[in-house]
Structure 1
Amino acid sequence: MESGRRKGLNGFLSSLSLLCVILDIQLNGVLGATHVEIEQHLEMGRKLLAAGQLAEALSHYHYAVEGDSKNYLTYYKRAAVFLAMGKSKSALPDLTRAIQLKPDFLAARLQRGNILLKQGNTQDAREDFETVLQRSPYQEEARDQLMRANELVELREEAHAAHHRGDYSTTITVLDRVVELSPWDPESRELRAECYIRLGDPRKAIQDLTPTTQLRNDNRAAFLKLSNLHYDLGEHQESLGHVRECLKLDQDDKDCFSHYKQVKKLSKQLDSAEEHIEEARYQEAIDKYESVMRTEPNVPYYTNKANERICFCLVKNKMAAKAIDICSEAHQRDPRNINILRDRAEAFILNQDYEKVTAFCTIQGHGSFVYELK
């Protein structure tokens, strides 16, 4: 029996040895194949990058990085693809990893410094440029970029000083150069947007704030501010779109949700009023626009718009006397609105007050109306 056990044990050990040999052979084969595959992915990534097929190139570099996480060049090459795609945030970790694996890799340091400078991170950018110059004192790009980083520090101080004393025009002028040097810095754009708002130029504020929604990971404040700016300009659909983006980031954001309910209600009323007008249901449209004025009495655009459209509906309903009153009020609030001028002229015609129409048209300089009346 003891002999049988020894035979069984010897057989098991023999089988185990054979299994280990087989596994060793297979493992070596896999490792060899993986190395070959990595080289193939790198070569395909290079060709696709040269052909401008960036998404396809990126997928090959992903495989290469996963296959060999210790190769600093692979990280650097993938960072180059991210940069070509305009994804600097994604490129930054790859450049940092390449530098960690090879601290004297100056090309990666220079590239990282360039990104950091554009992001407005002057301290870390200067460290990268200085490191490059320590190892390569005549590196022209690093020297030029270091000068720009130093300039950026001075300009920021100047901009904040001008803003502190309330000189918003000077602040904007200085920030123009700041944004030129660091276009991916949300803080500078947000400060310039605030200055534009102070100076009564919401359109330019919108232009500055829009990219900051992408430059910060969770920029609900920018989405809400954009929504408010569009709302005050009467662009309720754009306002609704921005506040929805805020709620996508956090559906429980109280400020965004409160504004969303207001914009949603107003937008629905405005759309419904215009639908009634398209269907020639003018009294229903009037009722809706009166609701609009109750919903938002504090933003002049919506009151002016409501009065303009109510004026139009009253004319269509041939309510001449009331139309003249409403149209005249609307004209006082918005004297350059050609639609109100036209509708009030029609109200005068309905009221058979042709002298007022002629006099009105002559004063306003709309000769076409005078010609039609004659």
Structure 2
Amino acid sequence: MLLLWLTTFSLLIWAVESDRAAQEISKGNVNLAKGQYNEALQHYHEAVEADSTNVQALFRRGTTQLFLGRPSLAIRDFDAVLRLKPDMSTARTQRGNVLFKQGKLEEAKLDFKKALESENSNKEAWEGLEKVMIWDSSLYRIRAKCSQQRGDIHSALMDLRKVAKLDTDHADDVLYEMSRLHYESGSVEQALRSIRDCLKYNPDHKLGYPFYKKLRKIGKIRDAMIAKSENEEWNECVKKAGEILKSDVSEAIRIDINRFSCKCNRENGDLEQAIQDCSKVINDNPNDVDILCERAEAHILNDDLDSALNDFTEASNIDSGNSAARKGIERVKSLKENAGKRDYYRILGVSRSANKRTITKAYRKLAQKWHPDLFTDEKEKQKAQKKFIDIAAAKEVLTDDEKRSKFDNGIDPLDTSNQQGGAHHHGFQGFRGFQGFNDGQYQFFFRQ
């Protein structure tokens, strides 16, 4: 009988306290809606005091603590709520938000995930989880590794850059890894920048400094090579490129250097090597329009017009708006149309890449060989005269920049059919000083 009475009395007390807690919660809600946070908090305190197991009282008190800028006290209330009701997703989401702001990303992520397990449609939990992911360096690292395995080095580097900012304790290792990736992809400048940043974080990095010394050496030679190319010192450019290619460098850096040596060798007259260098770049990237055009130029100088046309056409197919490819096609077609006409390079026996000094030297040698005064037989003399005229014409065209440019583009500047209005043209100006033929005696004066 006594036990029954005690049980009934306890139930009455609980009912009274629960009713009191509900009243305090209701009052607190009114204050909260008005923005009266301190007053609301006091009512929620009373509610919890009346019933310490009231989930709503604890949750609302925790929420109000957040409004008042007291996250630690708020978490204490959310902890109590979740001990009483572990599947309350709103409480988990709120606690997750607080933990996220405190930088406790792993704990926040766990709360958001559990909130979604209880309520998959919880939009705030989804948004919270997304925010955590943005700041989770381990996820960026995983994605960087996946991108690297797919060959997407650019995306891998972007993710590693974020890892370095988020995980400052290991930034030196991440920056070293970035430097290696830049190096493997052929970017010496970017590799140097990353390794310098690595050494700023940790000057004693075990792998960083030796790698920095290697990159600095390659970078200096590469800079010198570029400078020689810009100054049109082609032979020196080729030498600098050779220094790098002979050293232990990544395959991508070899391709990068081949891009320069391709042009430098062409300009230096080593056409076969230029074509080989260009081909190495194209084998690595068949869509490299610039190098296709560069190789085409080497083919022209090597008198291989068909191969030149193929390269220009391929470049145009890849990039229909590329003016170099379009003009190249027109030029090669013009050269092929004029293939049966005088070839001044062949007349002097020089390559299309020959400089003025080489051209003048060849001219003098041939002019002496075919000097008409050396021949007594009339037929031989006439043949020598024709040869000599062609030799002088070749020298005139190939030592004049404007005329040579026209000839290289398929136009013979000494061909009267190319003159406007069909006006008569003497053909060439190289015989000033040539005194003609008098009584079988010939005198020639050669310009030095």
Q: Using structure 2 for the length normalisation, give the TM-score.
A: 0.46
Larger radius of gyration: 2
Residue 274 of structure 1 deviates from its aligned partner by 0.4
Aligned twin of 2:393: none
Aligned twin of 1:205: 156
Does structure 2 conserve the Cα–Cα contact (< 8 Å) formed by 1:152 and 1:178?
Answer: yes
Residue 322 of structure 1 deviates from its aligned partner by 3.5
Aligned twin of 1:186: 137
Residue 272 of structure 1 deviates from its aligned partner by 1.4
Aligned: 1:106 with 2:65: yes
**C-alpha distance in 2, partners of 1:199/1:150?**
32
Matched pairs, number: 240
Does structure 1 conserve the Cα–Cα contact (< 8 Å) formed by 2:137 and 2:166?
Answer: yes
**C-alpha distance in 1, partners of 2:329/2:203?**
57
Aligned twin of 1:371: 330
Residue 217 of structure 1 deviates from its aligned partner by 3.4
Give runs of aligned pairs for residues 28-67 of structure 1, distance below 5 A.
none
**C-alpha distance in 1, partners of 2:128/2:225?**
46
Residue 109 of structure 1 deviates from its aligned partner by 9.8
Aligned twin of 2:229: 277
User: Any gaps of 5 or more consecutive residues in structure 1?
Assistant: 1-102, 114-125, 158-175
Indicate how the Cα distance of structure 1 residues 248 and 367 shifts in structure 2: closer, same or farther if over 3 A, else same.
closer
Aligned twin of 2:93: 144
Give SS of 1:254's match.
Answer: coil
Indicate how the Cα distance of structure 1 residues 147 and 107 shifts in structure 2: closer, same or farther if over 3 A, else same.
closer
Indicate how the Cα distance of structure 1 residues 179 and 201 shifts in structure 2: closer, same or farther if over 3 A, else same.
farther
Indicate how the Cα distance of structure 1 residues 358 and 242 shifts in structure 2: closer, same or farther if over 3 A, else same.
closer
Indicate how the Cα distance of structure 1 residues 266 and 141 shifts in structure 2: closer, same or farther if over 3 A, else same.
farther
Does structure 1 conserve the Cα–Cα contact (< 8 Å) formed by 2:157 and 2:178?
Answer: yes
Aligned twin of 1:288: 240
User: Structure 1 residue aligned with 2:262, among 311, 325, 333?
Assistant: 311
Aligned twin of 1:241: 193
Return structure 1 stretches of 4+ with deviation > 6 angstroms. Answer: 108-111, 147-151, 154-157
Residue 269 of structure 1 deviates from its aligned partner by 1.8
Aligned: 1:130 with 2:78: yes
User: Structure 2 residue aligned with 1:225, among 177, 201, 217?
Assistant: 177
User: Structure 2 residue aligned with 1:196, among 132, 147, 155?
Assistant: 147
Aligned: 1:252 with 2:204: yes
Does structure 2 conserve the Cα–Cα contact (< 8 Å) formed by 1:296 and 1:302?
Answer: no
State the Cα deviation string for residues 241-284 of structure 1 (Å, max 9, x = none).
Answer: 22112212221211111221222122222111101111111121
Give SS of 2:151's match.
Answer: coil
**C-alpha distance in 2, partners of 1:189/1:177?**
17
Which has the larger displacement, 304-313 or 211-220?
211-220
Q: Using structure 1 for the length normalisation, give the TM-score.
A: 0.54
Residue 341 of structure 1 deviates from its aligned partner by 1.5
Q: Alignment RMSD, CA only?
A: 4.0
Indicate how the Cα distance of structure 1 residues 177 and 108 shifts in structure 2: closer, same or farther if over 3 A, else same.
closer
Aligned: 1:350 with 2:308: no
**C-alpha distance in 2, partners of 1:296/1:128?**
61
**C-alpha distance in 2, partners of 1:362/1:104?**
70
Indicate how the Cα distance of structure 1 residues 197 and 322 shifts in structure 2: closer, same or farther if over 3 A, else same.
closer
**C-alpha distance in 2, partners of 1:271/1:129?**
64
Does structure 1 conserve the Cα–Cα contact (< 8 Å) formed by 2:222 and 2:240?
Answer: yes
**C-alpha distance in 2, partners of 1:196/1:109?**
45
Indicate how the Cα distance of structure 1 residues 190 and 235 shifts in structure 2: closer, same or farther if over 3 A, else same.
same
Which has more helix, going by share of residues? 1
Does structure 1 conserve the Cα–Cα contact (< 8 Å) formed by 2:65 and 2:71?
Answer: no
**C-alpha distance in 1, partners of 2:81/2:312?**
74
**C-alpha distance in 1, partners of 2:79/2:191?**
47
Aligned twin of 1:263: 215
Which has the larger displacement, 328-337 or 203-212?
328-337
**C-alpha distance in 1, partners of 2:89/2:155?**
36
Give SS of 2:168's match.
Answer: coil
Aligned twin of 1:123: none
**C-alpha distance in 2, partners of 1:317/1:177?**
63
